[in-house]
């Protein structure tokens, strides 16, 4: 297992939709482990395969040790609440900058496990926010696209200043 390099904003793969996983094998499990180690090293609480340049629908979330590691293959949101919440978000691909984003308070998702079993899950609070954030990434929607144009331009300038 290894820590992998993370693509940096504005890499074009961060705005490219990932393909569905169709091989549930040891290579997928190894990739999930690499994602976990890469996310922890970043540090972050969520990461997708596209963050490391692999366009597959695989993501790992670890909000805290008590919640444990969650691995999602081919996740999709099946329903969203109408209630909105605001939360400060960022990305392992855009370190050092954050901004408040609006998301649905509650979501239901369908996904597969590393062995291909289909599961459903409901989430609210921080887990719901993380799920929406990472599924957006798998769909080729970078988190800054959820901001107003003014906020997006401001955060991009801030990031460029930090990393030049």
The catalytic site residues sit at 134
Query: For residue 4, what are the CA distances in angstroms to 40, 118, 142?
Result: 11, 28, 20
- Of 1, 88, 6, the closest CA to residue 39 belongs to 6
The strands making up 118-124's β-sheet, listed across from edge to edge, are 46-48, 58-61, 70-80, 106-112, 118-124
| Helix, strand, coil in percent for the chain, rounding step 5 | 35, 30, 40
């Amino acid at each position: 297992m290894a820590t992998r390099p993370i693509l940096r904003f504005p890499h074009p793969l961060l705005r490219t939709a990932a393909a569905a996983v169709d091989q549930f094998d040891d290579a997928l499990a190894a990739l999930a482990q690499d994602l976990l180690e890469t996310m922890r090293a970043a540090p972050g609480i969520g990461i997708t395969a596209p963050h490391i340049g692999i366009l597959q629908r695989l993501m790992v979330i670890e909000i805290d040790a008590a919640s444990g590691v969650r691995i999602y293959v081919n996740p999709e949101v099946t329903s969203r609440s109408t209630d909105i919440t605001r939360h400060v978000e960022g990305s392992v691909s855009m370190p050092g900058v954050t901004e408040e984003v609006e998301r649905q308070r509650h979501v239901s998702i369908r996904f597969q496990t590393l062995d291909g079993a289909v599961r459903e899950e409901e989430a609210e609070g921080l887990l719901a926010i993380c799920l929406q954030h990472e599924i957006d990434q798998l769909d080729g929607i970078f988190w800054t696209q959820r901001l107003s144009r003014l906020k997006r331009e401001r955060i991009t300038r801030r990031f460029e200043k930090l990393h030049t």
